[in-house]
Each structure stands twice: as structure tokens, then as C-alpha cells.
């Protein structure tokens, strides 16, 4: 009999430890597991390293005091109003550590971790200040061509969180539209938790095999979270960003007291 991996949001949060590196799937405001992120923001967790192509997920966790370090190619509310206030302030005030790299360098680091190799060769970052700002990233001479390449170190995560359209209790999940890099992230983490709009029987999921992008061997747990990517978007379920909701978040993030009230409410 297949293993039932269904759990609650609280059970997912309890599997995360202080100091863990957490990779978060999605891109900007697209298909972010914000239901899980909000639960982490309200938890007692601290000193997390957050890795991903970030938006409200990273910004909210910084505002809630959960983040020690950010590893990201960007922080953006693409399609939404305003900017990442908490991230901007943390950068300016030096209250978090950060590794700011190109989008492809982040993906290359995840690929290296997924493939169990120490680094991934790339040209991305050459001729930029990325290497100046991140002296721990080495370059090397390619053995076959002699050209200079970047050795992007593997970015292994303790935990990966992604959001899917549908999932089965065994841990299969569908991602409709662009899967982005979530299918790489889940192989670069020790534990993987999938939130989904709906948990359905596997035989129903199998009717849509082309969209089954996440497989059960990679998955630790699944949790049903309807509207779990709101106020961001999830193709094709909801493709309109909740701009008023995002704006309300950003206004609240400007003031610690207002943000606490926001988090208590939402």
C-alpha cells in the first residue's frame, strides 16, 4: 500500500528547525507557497537561511524576524504594487546576511545539489561585481577549452517548500504551466513539503500525466491549502495578483506595530 504523506500546515512547520536552510519554490509572486510561509512567519522559528527567486515570501519572513541569511537572484513583487520594504531595510541596516547572485547562478547551484556534485560550471557572473561581492565563489580554467568559468557551489537545502495545483496523498503533484525550477529544488533538499490547492486520489491525478512534475520519492509531506499562493498567482486557477492585498502588506511592513497587526489578522 502506498504511503499516505498528508499532513497539516502545523505539522510541516514542526519539521523545520532553527537555523535550517529553506528553499522556496515559485518566482516573484508566481506560485509561492504563501500559506506555509505565513505559518512560518507566525511560528517561533528563527535564524533561517531562505533560498529562492523571491518576493513576498522572503520579505514577510524578514519582517517577522525569521531570516538570518538570504540567497537569491532577486526580490520582486512582479505584477504587484510597491517594493520589498522589509528586504530593502534589512539590506540597508545590515540585519541579514545575503548572497545576491544571478538567477541562473542560483539555478546552477540547485542543479549541483540535485545532481550531488560540489559545483556547477557556468559563464554567468563573469565580468560582473557578483564575484567581487561573493569572494567565496571560485573561478577555474576549463580543462578542455582553457576558458575561464565560474564554479557555482552546490546550494543544498534542509527543507524545500513548493505550491502545486493538485497533489495526491502519496506525494505526486501537478504544476500547470511553467514549472520554473521547482522540480530541481525538490531534488536539492533533504525534506520536501508540497502545499496544493487540492488533494485528490492518484487515479484522478493520472488523467493529467503531462502536468505531474513532482514525484513521490522526492516528497516528505503534502498539505491541502486552498488559495495557498494568494495574493500571488497560480496558473490557471487564479492569474490576477491581489494588488490591494499586496499593497496592504507593503504599507504594514513599513511599521513594526502595523505589521504585527497585519500578521495577527492574516
Name the pLDDT band for 85 (thresholds 50, 70, 90). Answer: confident
What's the whole-number mean pLDDT along residues 97-113? 97
* Domain count within the chain: 1
Distance CA 210, CA 74 (A): 30
Residues 6+ apart with CB under 8 A from 76: 28, 54, 55, 84
What pLDDT, in 10s, does the model give residues 214-249?
Answer: 999 999 999 999 999 999 999 999 998 888 888 888
Residue 36 maps to which CATH number?
3.40.1080.10
What pLDDT, in 10s, does the model give residues 115-168?
Answer: 999 999 999 999 999 999 999 999 999 999 999 999 999 999 999 999 999 999
Q: Collapse the DSSP code of 53 into the 3-class scheme (helix H, G, I; strand E, B; otherwise coil) and give the result.
A: strand
**Residue 133 falls within a domain, yes or no?**
no
Instruction: Count the Cβ atoms, other than its own, within 10 Å of residue 57.
Output: 28
Report the percent of the chain where pLDDT is more than 70.
Answer: 98
**Residue 85 falls within a domain, yes or no?**
yes
pTM of the model: 0.94
Structural domain containing residue 25: 9-112+156-265
Say what the pLDDT of residue 80 is: 59
User: Is the Cα dihedral 1, 213, 160, 149 positive or negative?
Assistant: positive
Q: What is the mean pLDDT of the chain?
A: 94
Say what the pLDDT of residue 81 is: 61
C-alpha cell at 137: 565563489
Distance CA 61, CA 87 (A): 9
Report the percent of the chain where pLDDT is more than 90.
Answer: 81
Helix axes 56-63, 85-93, angle to 10 degrees: 60
**Residue 66 falls within a domain, yes or no?**
yes
Amino acid at each position: 500500500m502506498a504511503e499516505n504523506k498528508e499532513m497539516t500546515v502545523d505539522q510541516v512547520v514542526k519539521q523545520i528547525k532553527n537555523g535550517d536552510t529553506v528553499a522556496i519554490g515559485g518566482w516573484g509572486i508566481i506560485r509561492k507557497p504563501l500559506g506555509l510561509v505565513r505559518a512560518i512567519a507566525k511560528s517561533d522559528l528563527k535564524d533561517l537561511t531562505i533560498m529562492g527567486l523571491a518576493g513576498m515570501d522572503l520579505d514577510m519572513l524578514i519582517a517577522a524576524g525569521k531570516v538570518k541569511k538570504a540567497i537569491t537572484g532577486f526580490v520582486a513583487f512582479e505584477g504587484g504594487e510597491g517594493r520589498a520594504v522589509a528586504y530593502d531595510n534589512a539590506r540597508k541596516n545590515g540585519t541579514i546576511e545575503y548572497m545576491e547572485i544571478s538567477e541562473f547562478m542560483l539555478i546552477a547551484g540547485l542543479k549541483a545539489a540535485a545532481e550531488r556534485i560540489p559545483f556547477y560550471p557556468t559563464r554567468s557572473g563573469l565580468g560582473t561585481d557578483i564575484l567581487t561581492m561573493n569572494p567565496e565563489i571560485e573561478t577555474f580554467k576549463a580543462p578542455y577549452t582553457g576558458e575561464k568559468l565560474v564554479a557555482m557551489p552546490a546550494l543544498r537545502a534542509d527543507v524545500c517548500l513548493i505550491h502545486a495545483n493538485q497533489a495526491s496523498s502519496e506525494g505526486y503533484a501537478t504544476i500547470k504551466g511553467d514549472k520554473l525550477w521547482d522540480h530541481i529544488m525538490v531534488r536539492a533538499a533533504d525534506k520536501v513539503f508540497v502545499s496544493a490547492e487540492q488533494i485528490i486520489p492518484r487515479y484522478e491525478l493520472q488523467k493529467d500525466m503531462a502536468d505531474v512534475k513532482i514525484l513521490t520519492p522526492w516528497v516528505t509531506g503534502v498539505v491541502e491549502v486552498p488559495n495557498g499562493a494568494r495574493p500571488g498567482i497560480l496558473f490557471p486557477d487564479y492569474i490576477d495578483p491581489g494588488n490591494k492585498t499586496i499593497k496592504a502588506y507593503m504599507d504594514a511592513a513599513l511599521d513594526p506595530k502595523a505589521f504585527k497587526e497585519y500578521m495577527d489578522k492574516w
